[in-house]
């Protein structure tokens, strides 16, 4: 195999990888986002009991994805589960959104720097994620936007080739927190998609300091926006 063929094979592999990441949400993520919408809107008040069998029947699925969705919500601090008492909604704290974006800003600034210094910016795959974001914006698909946005940023983080950084980023449960932010802040989804195009162009231009500054500011902006609740 020639060098050119190797590069083409590698790029095709990246494209297939990002395509999987921006595919339709899983049952558990659909359930999670449905419950998130009710919690952040106040439809489910603090103390509201979440019954697995009822949720499974409502979403037309088994209890397994419901349990997975509830575990994610518990890890996010929105639900608590107790033995023999089931799961209940806890008070929604917007501070958790702000804190996550502050930490994320530092991680993604570092990831952007490392990715660019390695000359490992996966431009084609990132453009594919942006295309999915634009389609989601057109249909006002918040879940699709969350999935595509998370895929875009994951490509940069993985491009850093720093395992500790990647694990720290994953520990923030980026897709779930992105869903929360989009539901609570209600930004213009078309603007969100174009913001990511600017981030990509900064990286492709090769100005490391500017790209890092914009990566940091992109996340901090969400920490500073006024929240609906």
Q: Tens digits of per-residue pLDDT, 134-146?
A: 999 999 999 899 9
pLDDT at 207: 96
Token pair for 218: 């992109």
Read off the pLDDT of each residue in 113-128 and give the average, rounded to a whole number: 97
* 110 shares its domain with 214: yes
* 205 shares its domain with 218: yes
Q: What CATH number is given to the structural domain containing 69?
A: 1.10.10.10
> For the whole prediction, is pTM greater than 0.85?
no
Count structural domains, the chain.
Answer: 2
Q: Which of 195, 161, 160 is nearest to 181 (CA)?
A: 195
pLDDT per residue over 27-76, tens digit each? 888 898 899 888 877 889 999 999 999 999 999 999 999 999 999 899 88
pLDDT at 176: 85
Q: What CATH number is given to the structural domain containing 205?
A: 1.20.120.530
Q: Which string of DSSP letters, residue by residue, matches 147-174?
A: HHHHHHHHHHHHHTT-HHHHHHHHHT-H
pLDDT at 184: 79
Let me know how long the chain is.
229
* 125 shares its domain with 157: yes
Q: Are 106 and 218 in contact (CB under 8 A)?
A: no
* 72 shares its domain with 106: no
Which domain does 209 fall in, by range?
Answer: 94-224
SS3 66: helix
* 98 shares its domain with 187: yes
* 123 shares its domain with 172: yes
Read off the pLDDT of each residue in 161-180 and give the average, rounded to a whole number: 92
Q: Please, what's the b/e burial string for 128-147 (b: 16 or more CB within 10 A of its CB; e: otherwise)?
A: bbbebbbebbeeebbbbbbb
* 118 shares its domain with 37: no
Residue 1 pLDDT greater than 80, yes or no: no
Residue 189 pLDDT greater than 80, yes or no: yes
Q: Which of 40, 24, 18, 26 is nearest to 177 (CA)?
A: 40
pLDDT at 229: 46
* 45 shares its domain with 133: no
Which pLDDT band, with edges at 50, 70 and 90, does 226 fall under?
low
Q: Percent of the chain beyond pLDDT 90? A: 59
Dihedral sign for Cα atoms in the order 196, 202, 204, 209: negative
Of the three residues 36, 68, 89, the one that is the final residue of a domain is: 89
Whether residue 229 lies inside any domain: the answer is: no
- The more confidently predicted of residues 97 and 168 is 168
Whether residue 133 lies inside any domain: the answer is: yes
First to last CA, the chain: 57
Average pLDDT, the chain: 87
Whether residue 20 lies inside any domain: the answer is: no
């Amino acid at each position: 195999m020639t060098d050119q063929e190797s590069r083409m094979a590698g790029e095709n592999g990246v494209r297939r990888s990002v395509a999987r990441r921006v595919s339709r949400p899983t049952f558990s993520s659909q359930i999670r986002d449905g419950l998130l919408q009710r919690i952040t809107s106040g439809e489910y008040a603090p103390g509201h009991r979440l019954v697995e069998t009822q949720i499974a029947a409502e979403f037309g699925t088994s209890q397994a994805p419901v349990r997975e969705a509830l575990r994610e919500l518990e890890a996010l601090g929105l639900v608590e589960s107790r033995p023999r008492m089931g799961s209940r909604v806890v008070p929604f704290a917007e501070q958790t959104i702000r804190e996550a974006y502050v930490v994320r800003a530092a991680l993604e600034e570092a990831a952007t720097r490392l990715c660019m210094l390695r000359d490992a910016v996966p431009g084609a795959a990132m453009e594919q994620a942006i295309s999915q974001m634009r389609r989601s914006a057109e249909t006002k698909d918040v879940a699709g936007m969350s999935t595509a946005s998370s895929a875009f940023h994951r490509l940069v983080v993985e491009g850093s080739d720093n395992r500790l950084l990647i694990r720290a980023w994953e520990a923030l449960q980026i897709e779930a927190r992105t869903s929360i932010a989009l539901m609570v802040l209600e930004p213009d989804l078309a603007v969100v998609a174009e913001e990511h195009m600017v981030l990509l162009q900064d990286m492709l231009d090769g100005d490391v300091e500017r790209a890092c500054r914009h990566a940091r500011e992109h996340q901090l902006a969400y920490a500073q926006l006024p929240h609906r609740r």
